[in-house]
Structure 1
Amino acid sequence: MSLKNNDAHLPTLDDLEILFVNNADLDNIRAHLSRFNPIKTMGMERMEIRHSAILGWLLNPQETHGLGDTFLKAFLAQAIRDDNSKARPTALDVSQADMMDAEIRREWRNIDLLVLSPRNGWVFVIENKFDSGQHSNQLKRYMDVVNATFIGSDSFHLVRGIFVTLWEEKPEDDRYAAIEYGTICELLRQTALSGRQPLTPEVQTFLKHYLDVIREATGMSDEQAEMEKLARQLYRDNRRALDFIVEHGKSTDFSFACDAVFGEDLEDEAVIKVGKREFIFNHSDAQSFSFVPKAWYDAFGGDEYWWHGCENWWAGFPLITWIQLTSDANGASGQVRLYAEVGPLSDHDFRRDLIAAITDVAKKKSLTTIGFQRGAADEGKKYSKFFKKNFFAVDDIHDHDKISNAIKKALKSFEAEMDVVAKVLPQFVSHGQEESSE
């Protein structure tokens, strides 16, 4: 993994003062971003499963929102109305029906939402796609299982599919009627926030927050559009200062977790201690934290040598380790990954022999967690990772405590690997060039 060297010009004091001192545009953006929204606060605005939960709550006539079946019927009727098929029930059938008996099932047979109305004999299969795409035959499978389970029984005789999409995506199965989140936004405004329904202040506040989320996601928010325009102009006017701040100042749950494990405000080549282990700090940013195990550092002669080819690579050493956090498709869970890599040494023979030595000692110690890909030692190869089974699950990537626990687990799990690698390194010190000789 190469480390890009950033040669961007540093901002002047005047640049920073223009950006931060009495800047009305920045104050407006800060005020916009500071608005409290519980859905955003909990990091749920892009999580499809959370949107399904909110939609299920709104559709359930027995729930605490106080809408009864008003939104349920408006939602179903609008979706069906926009569909060109002549299937039953029609939009008129739904709008005139009493659906207070409707049961809402979430994740039944992996179906996002299932609406059952025994009084009317109707079943609605609702598939929600907020950010994800359709899977092969997914809609057909859901329709088939519902038909096999419910249709033909004493209670149900008609089934229709509803496909909820953030964008103008067409369902792959023509038995589904599509409805966009933009339409849902308008339906909520008409049915829930028009003043015609006596809602509690708590419900009104929550729905306003949810509408803000949908409007921003669909590009329907005038305020968001204005703030984005203002932000673009602010960036154009203050590009040098903002580029510098983004590169060096941003913090994430991952960086907070690294601070908790390794310490804050670390200097280059600082010795950091985690448990009984010591590491030499290299670099940290919002996505990664790199370091060299002190045993490796000492085995290579510390800072007494420099290594041809690695001068501008990570710590300037032949080897590096780093921690990185990745997210799963659901945006909620992920993995902490611990990487180790042989870098771009100019001396091919040295690089080849180093890889061979690490491979051999791992085999002797029966460590299946160390291994290189085929061709790692080939001439011209620059970056070769060698830690395997190096993923550690995090069920909530927005919880820095859980991230820090996974980081500690990763470091603890690879103590033996770090030790055996350290044992083979002293034989290669002769390949380094003493600093004083330059």
Structure 2
Amino acid sequence: MSVAEPSLDEFEHLFVNNEGLDRLGAYLGRFNPIRTMRMEGMEVRHSAILAWLLDPSETHGFSDRFLKAFLAQALRGRSACGRVTAIDVVQSDLRDAQVHREWQNIDIFILSRRNNWAFVIENKFYASQHEGQLAKYAQKVRAAFSSRGEPPVVCGIFLTLLDELPQDESFAPIRYSAICDLLPRLMALEGLTLGQEVSIFLEHYLEIVREAAGMSEERVAMEALARQLYRTHKKVLDFVMEYGASTDFVLAAETVFEGTWEPRSTVSVGSRSYRYNGHNNRSISFLPVGWVDSFEVLGRPWRGCEQWWAGYPLICWLELLESADGASGTLKLFAEVGPLADHSLRSELIGRIRQLGSVSGLEGIRFQNDADKEGKRYSKFLRNNAVVIDDLHNAEEISKGMVTLLDRLDPYFEAIAGILPEFVDQATQTL
């Protein structure tokens, strides 16, 4: 990619006394001890923090209130645990609960002798999951406690950062986003009884989780500011990007996506064409050209999506997720329905895509049950959308992974392209 050299005035306009750039710099430079120690993506560290929060005897000051709120939210509306329901948990006394990490290879194990309950928590911040885990863990728990009276009722809970269902359906799913709702509520209720050091630490932790879960309003505002700065100072920033540092992910993407990387430009991967939206050191966002052609028939902005990605109701992106070891990772291809302001129209789009999931060969389309619930704004829907990357610094391996995922999921893109014209016709009459 070759760009023109900016003038001195253009450099000064961006870098000298630029309030927007100063705000962005302050945001990126803010102190967070979890981020400073590079623990924000380490699943084992999140397990340690959660085990501390869930333990009624620990120093956080919540007693069993966070434990009960977390377990009840996971079990809400489910019968996966048979005799244990969300109401049972809310009405129980769990102050005797013992919380263990990595007991029998279980991420977090909770035992309440008073209630004769055991909870197996599988924590998947980024790592992949495996089938049949709860049955195996339940057997271990019963074997370990069979000599001590009646074995406890064993409940499985699947905690995930992403919009991902457990492969083992006997696990009750809960997302990290629920922690972002439950924890601030409890902190507000406790008020001054929480220690200052605990409150500060929890705010730092919530900042990390909100950003990872896409729930940070400040992050959304800063991303909008970054896009505004880019539009205003595109020439300078393109020059900086051209001659600045790159990552192996970016090198891989440049190899795979052929064309000029400018907003709304068309790039190609083999015989397939995509509308490029943007990228950073670990992700690149785009849309199949067939989707864009349909969306642009509307002739006006899609309300609610004006500041979201490319401004359309759908987006796709490839993202490289780092494993706890820092050397390997997982490359994922995401597709998501965004924040359409018209709920009925958003629900209609989700419904049409859902129907495709019932077609033979398109089993990889699968929404969360509440994806079309009023108030939901972001709903991912692709499964079988990941490949393992053994070396994060091997651009060739990453580029092969990108092509593998694009090839694997192209039938889904084609199928969705086929339903969009009729959906857009309906939107034209609604919006």
TM-score by length of 1: 0.55
> Residues of 1 paired with 2:39 and 2:58: CA distance?
21
For residues 351-390 of structure 1, the aligned pairs below 5 Å read: none
Letter in 2 for 1:30: G
Cα distance, 1:10–1:127 mapped onto 2, change above 3 Å: same
1:132 maps to 2:133:
no
Q: 2:145 matched to which residue of 1?
A: 150
> Residues of 2 paired with 1:94 and 1:204: CA distance?
26
Q: 2:324 matched to which residue of 1?
A: 330
For residues 288-437 of structure 1, the aligned pairs below 5 Å read: 329-332=323-326
Q: What is the identity percentage for the equivalent residue pairs of Structure 1 and Structure 2?
A: 50
Q: 1:228 matched to which residue of 2?
A: 223
Letter in 1 for 2:223: E
Cα distance, 1:327–1:162 mapped onto 2, change above 3 Å: closer
Q: Which runs of 4+ in 1 moved over 6 A?
A: none
Q: Offset of 1:84 from its aligned partner?
A: 4.4
Deviations 1:337-378 (A, max 9, x none): xxxxxxxxxxxxxxxxxxxxxxxxxxxxxxxxxxxxxxxxxx
For residues 133-212 of structure 1, the aligned pairs below 5 Å read: 133-150=128-145, 153-154=148-149, 156-196=151-191, 198-212=193-207
Q: 2:56 matched to which residue of 1?
A: 61
> Residues of 1 paired with 2:14 and 2:146: CA distance?
64
Deviations 1:173-202 (A, max 9, x none): 222111111111111011123345711000
Q: Offset of 1:207 from its aligned partner?
A: 0.6
> Residues of 2 paired with 1:140 and 1:247: CA distance?
52
Question: Which segments of 5 or more consecutive residues in structure 2 lack a partner in the other structure?
Answer: 248-280, 283-319, 330-390, 394-431
Letter in 2 for 1:188: L
Q: Offset of 1:57 from its aligned partner?
A: 0.6
> Residues of 2 paired with 1:155 and 1:45: CA distance?
40
Does the CA contact (< 8 Å) of 1:193 and 1:204 recur in 2?
no
Q: 1:118 matched to which residue of 2?
A: 113
> Residues of 2 paired with 1:105 and 1:246: CA distance?
47
> Residues of 1 paired with 2:150 and 2:49: CA distance?
27
Cα distance, 1:167–1:151 mapped onto 2, change above 3 Å: farther
The structure with more radius of gyration: 1
> Residues of 1 paired with 2:17 and 2:7: CA distance?
17
How many correspondences in the alignment?
A: 262
Look up the SS of the partner of 1:67 in the other structure: coil
Letter in 2 for 1:147: R
Q: 1:8 matched to which residue of 2?
A: 3
Letter in 1 for 2:108: L
Does the CA contact (< 8 Å) of 2:68 and 2:94 recur in 1?
yes
Cα distance, 1:149–1:67 mapped onto 2, change above 3 Å: same
Look up the SS of the partner of 2:193 in the other structure: coil
Q: 2:234 matched to which residue of 1?
A: 239
Q: Offset of 1:331 from its aligned partner?
A: 4.7
Q: Offset of 1:71 from its aligned partner?
A: 0.5
Q: 1:40 matched to which residue of 2?
A: 35
Pick one of 5, 15, 30 that aligns with 2:25: 30
Look up the SS of the partner of 1:54 in the other structure: helix
Look up the SS of the partner of 1:194 in the other structure: helix
Q: 2:84 matched to which residue of 1?
A: 89
Q: Offset of 1:125 from its aligned partner?
A: 0.2
Does the CA contact (< 8 Å) of 2:134 and 2:168 recur in 1?
yes
Cα distance, 1:151–1:89 mapped onto 2, change above 3 Å: farther
Does the CA contact (< 8 Å) of 2:68 and 2:90 recur in 1?
yes
> Residues of 2 paired with 1:124 and 1:206: CA distance?
26
Letter in 2 for 1:222: E
Does the CA contact (< 8 Å) of 1:119 and 1:155 recur in 2?
no
> Residues of 2 paired with 1:52 and 1:64: CA distance?
16
Does the CA contact (< 8 Å) of 1:99 and 1:117 recur in 2?
yes
Look up the SS of the partner of 1:178 in the other structure: strand
TM-score by length of 2: 0.55
